[in-house]
Amino acid sequence: MAKDINLDQVLQTFIVEARELLEDMEAALLRVADEADPRESINAIFRAAHTIKGSSGLFGLDAIVAFTHVAESVLDRVRDGAVALDEGLVALLLACGDYIGRMVDAVERTEAQADPHADPEGAALLARLQAYLAPCAAPAEVARAAAPTAAGGPARWHLSLRFGPDVLRNGMDPLSFIRYLATLGQIEHLVTIPDAVPPLEALDPEGCCLGFEIAFVTTVDKASIENVFEFVIDDCALRIVPPGSQVARYIELIHSLPEGPSRLGEILVRCGSVTAHELEAALRVQSESAPERRIGAILAEQGTVAPQVVEAALVRQKQAKEARGAENQSVRVDADKLDRLINLVGELIIATAGANLVAKRTRNLELMERNSTLADLVEEVRDSALQLRMVKIGATFNRFKRVVHDVARELGKDIELAVSGEDTELDKTVVEKIGDPLMHLVRNAMDHGIDSPERRAERGKPAAGTVSLNAFHDSGSIVIQVSDDGGGLDRERILAKGLERGLVEAGRVMSDAEVYALIFEPGFSTAEQITNLSGRGVGMDVVRRNIEALRGNVAIASEPGRGTTVTVRLPLTLAIINGFQVGVGKSVFVVPMDMVDECIEFSAQTGQDYTDLRGQVLPFIRLRELFDVPGRPAARQNIVVVKHAGQKFGLVVDALMGEAQAVIKPLSRMFVQVRGISGSSILGSGDVALILDVPVLMQQAQLGRGAAAHAAS
């Protein structure tokens, strides 16, 4: 039995693709002003709007079709050079993209469609769009019609359409394409071709046997007609005869179709595409032995199109086929399925670790060898599964181009966005959760960081300020930096505010990093006035809390008069890591392997929290004392040298247990506030091992660094 068509799933695909097209449209709108030749970007904007309109028509989303059609008409005039794509029109089209996005969101929520003409926001946008269309009497596609017509009027096309047998099974409604075609012009004649319908006993109720011959009058071009059927192009045979074609073109059409020539000739005459006399004369003189030629050569010979146009069309056709071939190499997978896969891989790692313990306990060499092979394969599966969830951070960075564009207009500042490291990859879960904190940091840099044009002129800086986004990998983490070339942070003002709020003890000597960290305290703000962007003391504390919830940390560096850099350091993944297991008494701890530099024998005088590492002072932390592990230290202890953010410190442990994969499990609420622990993992024995939070431990080690350096000197 054939599988039922899931229309909800097809609609969900439309929603996902519509959002991707809106993102592409926004990206092109934001870059078009900086391009010497913006034609390609303008075409990309038009294609995005046109595809959204066409897809919406397939699902009967008339509100989206109606609104997008007007925006598409304006873009068409931009393509023709009749309208300039200036800053005002870019802002309007960005607002239209937002409005279309909200209509798509309403479709996802299964809400009733609101008529954009009746909706105040939609009506206002449509009125602004219409201003760019007046006094245009007809869409500009008429000028690109394949054959001359009456002074920009509509042209008659002939469409021969045969749907494939799998169209219905693939979730497509053939009649929806016909209905959408009718929105682009007038269907004067439509003849249904039932010749492919088999006898009743052989009829497949889920198979499609539909064919149509259509006489279509419209002002749009051939590409627009073809785009109507782009979602079913691989499951149908579409032949289009342009206006003004000679009778020989229709003869070729007749011989290319499976139905009989006499029957098709009759249909063409009924549609008014050719006269009976013309068709009869052409059939009489045509030679049966004439070699088959490509339609492009015939059209060029007839003088309907120029030879160079045919050649360019063939090149575009080849590129389109290659593009479709490349698209077929990728598969869209639901995020829930990937999460399920990662969870199963995690359980497989735990089970493999248990099997490894049994193998060692029984001392069965063959079992140990097989288990070693299994462990290697599981590690490869783990790496492959995690790679599936890795995405480039560039998509997140691109969102901020719109933010910088809109906020700069609101603030009255000239601000540019510089992006680097957009190809850096990290777990999709991290990407999804870091977007909002980065959004706040970027807006904060524009409002507080970038100074006014007058102040920049006084300091000899360019009139345009720059906000920079950079991402790179470092020691198994991803580092994201948000920088600005503004005036920098006012250290004394922040310190005074901290004293006023009781966050700093009077007389306490603080480093620059400690002073700058005060801005992450709840309710802290040095803004002189409250604006739409800042001044309420809400935001930076939430930024730090959200970043720390991802097992990350945030730091600030600033130079007066030159700018500020906020550095966010995050783990590459929140699921599975390579860990280095250490033992303290009967407890097992896991250190992220990417942060382990080396292991040395413990040697330090009693009461000291530092040791000598090849002439360098190495502060360390005794895990037994930090976590109050019962029992006496081992006779021979070790120091695991850990590096983070370019600095090193040591962890004093009883035993080194070696490298092992660690499946990260979240801590219960009871232990969330425990500093120095970022999560837990299940060992092969079933016991729980705690995963150390190296950045937090490094902060604690740095408290003794000053004393250690002083003692060493």
Q: What is the pLDDT of residue 327?
A: 47
- C-alpha gyration radius of the chain: 34
Would you say 550 and 570 are in contact if contact means Cβ atoms under 8 Å apart? Answer: yes
CA distance 381 to 386: 8
Q: What is the pLDDT of residue 68?
A: 92
Long-range contacts of 277-282 (CB under 8 A, 24+ apart): 278/247, 279/247, 279/250, 279/251, 281/247, 282/247, 282/248, 282/250, 282/251
Q: What is the pLDDT of residue 151?
A: 41
Arithmetic mean of pLDDT, 479-507: 87
> Given a cut of 70, is residue 300 above it in pLDDT?
no
Which among 559, 508, 414 has a CA at the least distance from the CA of 87?
414
Percent of the chain exceeding pLDDT 70 equals 83
Structure token digits, residue 254: 């007749």
Q: What is the pLDDT of residue 639?
A: 94
Worst-scoring range by mean pLDDT, 57-66, 91-100, 562-571?
A: 57-66
Arithmetic mean of pLDDT, 135-141: 39
Per-residue pLDDT band at 92 (split at 50, 70, 90): very high
Arithmetic mean of pLDDT, 399-423: 88
Would you say 494 and 467 are in contact if contact means Cβ atoms under 8 Å apart? Answer: no
Q: Is 415 or 675 the better-scoring residue by pLDDT?
A: 415
Structure token digits, residue 702: 């740095």
> Given a cut of 90, is residue 467 above it in pLDDT?
yes
By CB neighbour count within 10 A (0-12 exposed, 13-18 middle, 19+ buried), where does 537 fall? middle
Worst-scoring range by mean pLDDT, 392-401, 608-617, 635-644, 697-706?
A: 697-706
Q: What is the pLDDT of residue 420?
A: 93
> Given a cut of 80, is residue 4 above it in pLDDT?
no
Q: What is the pLDDT of residue 157?
A: 87
User: What is the DSSP annotation of 483-538?
Assistant: EE-SS---HHHHHHHHHHTT-S-TT----HHHHHGGGGSTT----SS--SSS-SS-
Worst-scoring range by mean pLDDT, 119-123, 137-141, 201-205, 599-603?
A: 137-141
Task: Note the pLDDT tens digit of each residue in 655-674.
Answer: 999 988 888 887 777 776 77
Percent of the chain exceeding pLDDT 90 equals 15
> Given a cut of 80, is residue 262 above it in pLDDT?
no
Q: Are strands 465-474 and 553-559 parallel, antiparallel or unpaired?
A: unpaired
Strand order in the sheet with 688-692: 655-663, 576-584, 587-592, 688-692, 677-682
What is the rounded average pLDDT for all residues in the chain?
A: 80
Per-residue pLDDT band at 323 (split at 50, 70, 90): low
Per-residue pLDDT band at 308 (split at 50, 70, 90): low
> Given a cut of 80, is residue 48 above it in pLDDT?
yes
Q: Is 150 or 622 the better-scoring residue by pLDDT?
A: 622
> Given a cut of 50, is residue 145 above it in pLDDT?
no
Where are any strands of DSSP class E within 523-645?
A: 553-559, 563-571, 576-584, 587-592, 596-601, 610-613, 616-622, 638-644
Q: Is 386 or 143 the better-scoring residue by pLDDT?
A: 386
Amino acid at 272: G
State the Cα angle at 594 between 442 and 651, rounded to 5°.
105
Q: What is the pLDDT of residue 29?
A: 92
Q: What is the pLDDT of residue 307?
A: 55
State the Cα angle at 519 between 513 and 525, rounded to 5°.
150
Q: How far is CA 700 from the centre of its chain?
A: 38
Arithmetic mean of pLDDT, 70-83: 88
Q: What's the number of CA atoms in the CB half-sphere (13 Å) around residue 475?
A: 16
Q: What is the pLDDT of residue 670?
A: 73
pTM: 0.60
Arithmetic mean of pLDDT, 518-530: 70
Worst-scoring range by mean pLDDT, 51-60, 120-129, 459-468?
A: 51-60
CA distance 441 to 448: 10
Q: What is the pLDDT of residue 94?
A: 93
Arithmetic mean of pLDDT, 302-308: 49
Arithmetic mean of pLDDT, 219-232: 82
> Given a cut of 70, is residue 139 above it in pLDDT?
no
Which among 46, 56, 44, 58 has a CA at the least distance from the CA of 18?
56
CA distance 137 to 394: 42
Per-residue pLDDT band at 97 (split at 50, 70, 90): very high
Q: How far is CA 618 from the centre of its chain?
A: 43
Per-residue pLDDT band at 475 (split at 50, 70, 90): low
State the Cα angle at 81 between 76 and 83, rounded to 5°.
75
Per-residue pLDDT band at 298 (split at 50, 70, 90): very low
Q: What is the pLDDT of residue 285?
A: 52
Per-residue pLDDT band at 331 (split at 50, 70, 90): confident
CA distance 520 to 535: 14
Q: What is the pLDDT of residue 140?
A: 34
Arithmetic mean of pLDDT, 54-68: 84
Q: Taking the C-alpha atoms of 630, 632, 637 and 643 in order, what is their torsion angle to the nearest 10 degrees?
A: 30
Arithmetic mean of pLDDT, 92-110: 92
- Three-state SS string over 412-455 comes to CCCEEEEEECCCCEEEHHHHHHHHHHHHHHHHHHHHHHCCCHHH
Q: What is the pLDDT of residue 428?
A: 84
Most confident of 24-33, 325-334, 572-581: 24-33
